[in-house]
Structures are given as C-alpha cells and as structure tokens.
Amino acid sequence: MDYYGSSIGRLIESLSSLPGIGKKSAQRLAFHIAAMPEEQVKAIADSLVEARSNVHFCKHCCTLTDGDICPICQSSKRNHRQIMVVENSRDLAAYEKTGRYDGVYHVLHGAISPMTGVGPNDIKLKELLMRLQDEDGEASADEIIIATNSSVEGESTAMYIVKLVKTLELPIKVTRIATGVPVGGDIENIDEVTLERALKGRTEL
C-alpha cells in the first residue's frame, strides 16, 4: 500500500481495526479525514481519547458512563425498585428511546455463551445479585425485567438469572419481555419459532 504514503496507510490500518469498518470504508474515511479542516480532525481525536479516559462502569448498573454513577441511576424520577437487565449499553439506549420505561437498568456486558467461552463470571451477574439485597438482607428491588436478546445466549442467560434470583429467596418478581411478531411484521415472512411463541404469548383483548 505504499502508493498512499505511510501516514494514510497507517490511518487506514487503524480505522479498519474498528468493528464494522472494512478496508474499503477505512480507505474512504481516511481520505476524507486527510482533507478535513485540521481543528475538526483534532476534535474527533480528542473525543476518542476523552471518551476512553472518562468513561467507566456505573457503580450501580454497570453501564458505560462518565464519572461514578450514570444519569439514570442518579435520577430521583426513576423507580429504583424496578431493574431491567440488558446485555449491553446499546440495548439500554434502545429502551430509553421508547421513553416508556421509568425503572433503572442493569447492564451485563455480554450473555452466557459456552460456545465462545463466556461463563457467568465473565458478565456482570455478581454485581446484579449484590444490588438485590440491602445490608439487612431485605430485598432492595420489587421486579427484575429480563431484556436479554431472544437468542440462544440471551435465553440461557435469562434462565440462569431466574435460577440465581430464586436462590436468594426474596420477594422479587422476575419477568421476561415478550417474544412475538414485531410491529409491521409480515406473518408470512416470520420464522416458525417466533410464530409459535407469539401464539403461546397471546393476550386477551
């Protein structure tokens, strides 16, 4: 790749190390960046370094955030006794966008997956259990809503959490978000497992 000169080559290489950016997009981005106003490039570079050094796991819900505790866990408007368990911070963001959930979250940062060697200790499960009990051994939550993905890993993780919470013997309800036909979904194009689950989960009108 010495037809670009080494700076562009290095930039292409470092950009294509990011997820979802292939050789072609990295090349397009690199040439775009090389022609951008210098301050703008500096601003992007700074925001990268800044995000990496400022961002930590929230001490309560483990989402990625500035400082010790995330804005949601700090908010007095949220119901802190209702905890939605999600696989990652992007799933949290997706639920926040609905604007219809006023509880708090717990971010696992993964799902149990024996195939890829991710066990219960590799995700933030210990931190979840710690949150469910106060110092006096009383339940510090009323409900845990499991919103892991509807994949094999997500489902196993959900089952595992149910078992874990049951062992605490506390009056905490554990629920799972519904599986079914997505809004706007065309029945004829939806897989059988989803259709079966949608039938099983039917509700009275």
C-alpha 199/C-alpha 184 separation (Å) is: 17
* Listed ranges 19-27, 121-129, 131-139, 160-168: which one lies at the site for a copy of itself (CB under 8 A): 19-27
Q: Give me the 55-94 binding string for a copy of itself, x by CB under 8 A, dash otherwise.
A: x--------xxxx--xxx---------------xxx-xx-
Measured in whole angstroms, the distance separating CA 145 from the mean position of its chain's CA atoms is 14
With CA atoms as reference, report the closest residue to 73 among 103, 39, 116, 111: 103
Are 102 and 96 in contact by the 8 Å Cβ rule? The answer is no
CB nearer a copy of itself, residue 31 or residue 170: 31
- Indicate the SS3 state at residue 136: coil
Interaction of residue 32 with a copy of itself, rule CB under 8 A = yes
C-alpha 35/C-alpha 10 separation (Å) is: 16
CB nearer a copy of itself, residue 100 or residue 202: 100
Number of chain residues interacting with a copy of itself (CB under 8 A): 59
What is the contact surface with a copy of itself in residues (CB under 8 A)?
1-8, 10-11, 13-15, 17-21, 25, 27-36, 38, 40-55, 64-67, 70-72, 88-90, 92-93, 96
